Structure 1
């Protein structure tokens, strides 16, 4: 049973990477896996759920790689800038993660995934970075009067601005993102 699920997963990952989410359908996946379409539904309730499982795994790998690459001897602002740069580079280099920027596709996928799995299921941030924020707070490098999880939500907001660059104006990116990051970090590191 697990072998079939792994085969479906691997075939879908390859197809999503090569063709994208929108141009890959369940029959493509099952054909590549050498099984009937009905078999797919024994393991996954939808193409969206399978894609999100693959997306979350790829996202976790990227975040782990980013965390391992950080130079923690730098200031919190420099570390956050480095993390954001590594994240954007990794997202745009990975065809599965790149779907994040396709609002018409990813918004629907995420909505269906959350309906099937619950609102809190897909956390796109990284627990390891929460630990860093908590450490900075303990060391007096970051405000401790703001809950560390709230600070992580601020970082989430910064990351999500990137998905709205067309509405804001492409001519302002990436300078806007850097300026926002700097201003927010100054506010977070100005310890009372």
Structure 2
């Protein structure tokens, strides 16, 4: 009689998340995920027909935890500049800590993790980050009475997260300096 494992899908996702956090996508195998979960490879394939689908679920689950943290910042009773600083810090730390899962956001092909639904994969994650960043910047401009320059503003808003990703990649061992630099850079641009 086959053994029944309670919450197996959740255990698979947790094991896969740990592996995708520690290693690049190409270095994680379905057999490695099965081994870490303590199940047979065939059992894993009963839940996920391929690594790509499993990765997309792990990727989304991982970032949903970050969105909870980011949304909590927005509910704090502090200025929008302070919210922006905390937002930058959380995004930096969460992305840097993910290694493999954060690194996927740097890749162009990560935007094509699922071709049928742009809300999945890296494209959907980046879109959600962009939307939150745009909201904070709009709130800062309103709170401080700053002018809006639509010609450049969209490029700026869309590139903030790219700055974070690039700094993580360029200076991976300089967390504190990187975060302060990003706060200064982004806040200085909002004048």
- Taking structure 2 as the reference length, the TM-score comes to 0.63
Are 2:99 and 1:98 equivalent residues in the alignment? yes
> Aligned partners of 1:16, 1:138: CA distance in 2, in Å?
40
**Any unmatched runs of 5+ in structure 2?**
1-5
Q: How does 1:57-96 map to 2 (within 5 A)?
A: 57-69=61-73, 71-74=76-79, 76-92=80-96, 94=97
> Aligned partners of 2:67, 2:155: CA distance in 1, in Å?
16
Displacement of 1:35 in angstroms is 4.0
**Structure 1 range deviating more: 125-134 or 176-185:** 125-134
The partner residue of 1:10 within 4, 14, 23 is: 14
Displacement of 1:15 in angstroms is 3.2
Are 2:187 and 1:182 equivalent residues in the alignment? yes
Helix, strand or coil: the match of 1:119?
A: coil
- Taking structure 1 as the reference length, the TM-score comes to 0.63
**Any unmatched runs of 5+ in structure 1?**
187-192
Root-mean-square deviation (Å): 4.1
Partner of residue 114, structure 2: 114
Give the conservation status (yes or no) of the 8 Å contact 2:73–2:83.
no
Partner of residue 190, structure 1: none
Give the conservation status (yes or no) of the 8 Å contact 2:59–2:101.
no
> Aligned partners of 1:35, 1:151: CA distance in 2, in Å?
50
Are 2:50 and 1:49 equivalent residues in the alignment? no
> Aligned partners of 1:46, 1:177: CA distance in 2, in Å?
38
Displacement of 1:64 in angstroms is 1.6
Helix, strand or coil: the match of 1:155?
A: helix
Partner of residue 158, structure 1: 160
Which string of whole-angstrom CA distances, capped at 9 and with x for unpartnered residues, describes residues 66-121 of structure 1? 332454432x33321221012212333x3xx2325536x96277244133x43343
> Aligned partners of 2:108, 2:132: CA distance in 1, in Å?
28
